[in-house]
């Protein structure tokens, strides 16, 4: 790689800044290590930095790697540009890290399939003109979409390190940290292993044994987190994670209030879908059904898809055994705008009061941490949240396996449960989209307690 400060790109970057939805604070895009809003002090996470950009008209490069094909729209790219890293060197950094990841994961980042699922569409009673389009993320890096969110965090970190903008040197890196029960933990540990960066993973007390074995094989430090009577409401894994971050670890997860850069790379999924949708014969995709745990996936996908100019209604899907977003959505309507609701965060988003349970155990976050951008996207697109019953979660998993050849997990098929739950409200000629977001790794268990 040539000198990082040589030949800066003359074309202005798309992204100019990050802006907190709760307090309005703007953070210049050139700010290194800008994980959180400056006003998110101590354990206060009632702030979230959102990416301010205007993507339209959406264009893609010819490269097979989406992070290169859509690079000019990414916030991390604007950050590197602002510090003088040339366009050639930015492409080279993506390719270098992608190659290292491929050694560990067996694959690098590529465009993933998005097409009509004919047998599934017929099974759900759609006409030949309508139907369900499935985005298949099960063969992405580490088997899910989570790696996309994390890759822009890694790009920001490595670029900042090489530009001399970090308080550490590469030989004395602080630990990365993540709170997760499944795909995000595996993806984060895969990326960390690829670049030899230490990582600590906070998992629930009853974490899956096979997952623990995979994490240990990737040299992750695993910490079990039982629920404590002395803890405040919420996920004990998140509490322990925040404690380590407070002590100097780097947040490396998929929760926007903890690390805003996760909302950057997740948009590539939506851009890929929007690019296909723009070139479809009418009618357009009318609805997006997206499973929601912490909410970063739905927020990013909607931001990417809507950038293409297609205003498909966003439907955020949760299971009845843990649905804090639906409650926040209802409470947010007491306020004229989502920004006003965000400034009254504690009144709208509160932790789920019971022990979360569902067959789709990967979306059992006690809080929807990224509820603000998700609710904003639903309001803007005319969508609404959908709460699926456990029977519908099981039915979605079964019909996904009966009608497609995608080996999706119960969590990965949970968006389809929302389609089943809302089916009577969907016209037979409507075109809708779902994402099968994670591959099945173990034999699914019945409805289980949160993590």
pLDDT score, position 444: 56
**Structural domain contains residue 127:** yes
pLDDT value of residue 443: 52
In a domain, 37, yes or no: no
In a domain, 240, yes or no: no
In percent, how much of the chain has pLDDT > 70?
94
Domain with 319 in it: what CATH number?
3.40.50.1100
Residue 120 lies in a domain: yes
Range of the domain at 301: 114-143+263-449
- Compute the mean pLDDT over every residue in the chain, rounded to the nearest whole number: 92
Number of domains into which the chain is organized: 1
pLDDT digits (tens, 9 = 90+) for 142-179: 999 999 999 999 999 999 999 999 999 767 899 999 99
341 within some domain: yes
Residue with the bigger pLDDT between 307 and 448: it is 307
Over the stretch 65-99, which tens digit does the pLDDT of each residue have? Answer: 999 999 999 999 999 999 999 999 999 999 999 99
pLDDT at 244 over 80: yes
Measured CA to CA, the distance from residue 5 to residue 400 in angstroms comes to: 49
Is residue 433 in some structural domain? yes
User: How does residue 308 score in pLDDT terms, banded at 50, 70 and 90?
Assistant: low
Residue bearing the bigger pLDDT, 361 or 374:
374
320 has a pLDDT exceeding 80? yes
Q: Is the pLDDT of residue 450 over 50?
A: no
**Does position 9 have pLDDT exceeding 50, yes or no?**
no
The model's confidence at residue 447, banded by pLDDT at 50, 70 and 90, is low
For residue range 372-383, list pLDDT tens digits in order: 999 999 999 999
Would you say residue 16 lies in a domain?
A: no
In angstroms, the CA 441 to CA 443 distance is: 7
**How far apart, in Å, are the Cα atoms of 47 and each of 50, 66, 398?**
10, 29, 38
Whether 74 is covered by a domain: the verdict is: no
Q: How far, in whole angstroms, is CA 302 from its chain's centroid?
A: 11
pLDDT in tens, 108-151: 999 999 999 999 999 999 999 999 999 999 999 999 999 999 99
pLDDT at 331 over 70: yes
């Amino acid at each position: 790689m040539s000198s990082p400060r040589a030949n800066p790109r003359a074309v202005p970057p798309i992204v100019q800044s990050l802006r907190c939805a709760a307090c309005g604070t703007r953070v210049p895009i050139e700010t290194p290590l800008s994980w959180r809003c400056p006003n998110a002090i101590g354990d206060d996470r009632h702030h979230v930095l959102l990416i301010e950009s205007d993507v339209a008209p959406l264009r893609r490069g010819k490269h097979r790697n989406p992070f290169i094909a859509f690079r000019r729209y990414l916030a991390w790219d604007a950050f590197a540009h602002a510090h003088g890293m040339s366009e050639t060197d930015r492409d080279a950094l993506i390719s270098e890290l992608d190659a290292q990841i491929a050694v560990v994961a067996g694959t690098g980042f590529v465009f993933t399939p998005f097409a009509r699922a004919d047998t599934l569409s017929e099974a759900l009673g759609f006409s030949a003109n309508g139907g369900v389009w499935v985005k298949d993320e099960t063969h992405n890096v580490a088997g899910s979409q989570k790696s996309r969110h994390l890759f822009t965090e890694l790009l920001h970190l490595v670029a900042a390190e090489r530009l001399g903008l970090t308080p550490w040197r590469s030989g004395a890196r602080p630990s990365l940290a993540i709170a997760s029960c499944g795909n995000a933990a595996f993806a984060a540990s895969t990326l960390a292993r690829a670049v030899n960066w230490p990582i600590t993973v906070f998992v629930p007390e009853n974490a899956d044994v096979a997952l623990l074995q995979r994490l240990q094989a990737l040299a992750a430090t695993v910490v079990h987190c039982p629920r404590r009577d002395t803890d405040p409401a919420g996920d004990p894994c998140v509490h322990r994670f925040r404690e380590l971050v407070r002590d100097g670890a780097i947040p490396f997860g998929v929760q926007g209030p903890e690390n805003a850069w996760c909302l950057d790379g997740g948009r590539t999924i939506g851009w890929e879908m929007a690019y296909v949708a723009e070139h479809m014969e009418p009618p357009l995709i009318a609805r997006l059904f997206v499973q929601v745990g912490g909410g970063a996936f739905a927020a990013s996908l909607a931001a990417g898809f809507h950038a293409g100019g297609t205003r498909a209604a966003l439907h955020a899907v949760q299971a009845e055994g843990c649905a804090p977003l639906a409650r926040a959505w209802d409470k947010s309507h007491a306020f004229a705008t989502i920004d006003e609701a965000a400034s009254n965060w504690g009144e709208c988003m509160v932790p789920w009061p019971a022990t979360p349970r569902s067959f789709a155990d990967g979306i059992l976050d006690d809080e929807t941490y990224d509820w603000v951008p998700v609710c904003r996207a639903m309001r803007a697109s005319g969508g609404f949240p959908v709460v699926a019953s456990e029977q519908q979660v099981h039915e979605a998993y079964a019909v996904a396996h009966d009608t497609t050849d995608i080996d999706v997990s119960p969590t990965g098929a949970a968006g389809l449960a929302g389609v089943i739950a809302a089916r009577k409200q969907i016209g037979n000629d409507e075109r809708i989209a779902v994402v099968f977001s994670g591959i099945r790794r173990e034999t699914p268990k019945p409805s289980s307690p949160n993590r």
